[in-house]
Chains A and B, each alone.
Chain A
Amino acid sequence: SSELTQDPVVSVALGQTVRLTCQGDGLRGSYASWYQQKPGQAPLLVFYLNKNRPSGIPDRFSGSSSGDTASLTITGAQAEDEADYYCYSRDTSGNRVVFGGGTKLTVL
């Protein structure tokens, strides 16, 4: 299967650490990327190639991957991190792009 599974809803207390996960066979041997989307805005790349953070993204965001699971960790979550987060990867054919269903992150 080329589907990617994310927890639909996750909450975290302000200043605490939260780990968002993305699971699927499509992640084996390929790279995951993560996107943050706030209401009414286009998605924003926050991590790519499993472990790379684009310039301008706070270093409290970090990424990792192992086997069929990719993770995005926010260390010391801030109120402005409240958003929807989507993972993404190509499937094993290298052509078909798959997005996860998204995680709605609430910062309490």
Chain B
Amino acid sequence: QLQLQESGPGLVRPSETLSLTCNVSGASISSISYYWGWVRQPPGKGLAWIGHIHSSGTTYHNPSLKSRVTISIDTSKNQFSLKLNSVTAADTAVYYCARDRGWFDPWGQGILVTVSS
């Protein structure tokens, strides 16, 4: 059964870089032609797509985040990662990773990242 699990710091200081990793288990991240995506949800608000990466390494991200987003994939570790630089309080959110087949399923449990000094 495919499962995803986010990991990373729960607290990031303003102007620094948020770094999260999504560990994939139950399937090889490189053997299946899917996208692997990141979605976030600010407290009390709706879902917002951050971006996704194909198993080939091709990436797309939400233009609203401009050039702050980097998504990478490590097939040797069966995981993919998110980096968001120059964070502000507006980046405080629960961050989810999910397999993207044109629809998101399954999802990780999510990780709350707070941006605060």
* Interface set of A (CB-CB < 8 Å, partner B): 31, 33, 35, 37, 42-45, 48-49, 54, 84, 86, 88, 90, 95-102
CA distance A94 to B46 in the complex (A): 22
- Chain A residues in 8 Å Cβ range of B47: 35, 37, 43, 86, 88, 99, 102
Interface size class of B (residues with CB under 8 A): 20 to 34
The verdict on A33 contacting B103 (CB below 8 Å), with A42-B109, A99-B48, A102-B47 known, is yes
* Chain A proximity of B54: nearest CB distance (Å): 11
Contacts of B104 in A (CB 8 A): 33, 35, 43, 45, 88
Partner of A88, one of B62, B63, B103, B109: B103
Distance between Cα atoms of A96 and B96 in the complex (Å): 17
How far apart sit A44 and B100, CA to CA, in the bound complex (Å)? 13
| Chain A proximity of B107: nearest CB distance (Å) | 4
Assess whether B102 is in contact with A49, with CB atoms less than 8 Å apart. Answer: yes
Closest 7 CB pairs of A and B: A97-B49, A33-B103, A48-B103, A45-B105, A42-B107, A102-B46, A99-B47
In the complex, the answer to whether A95 meets B60 with C-beta atoms within 8 Å is yes
A90 smallest CB distance to B (angstroms): 7
**In the complex, which of the residues A43, A49, A96, A102 has the most CB atoms of chain B within 10 Å of its own CB atom?**
A43
B:37-69 near A, CB below 8 Å? 37, 39, 46-49, 52, 60, 62-63
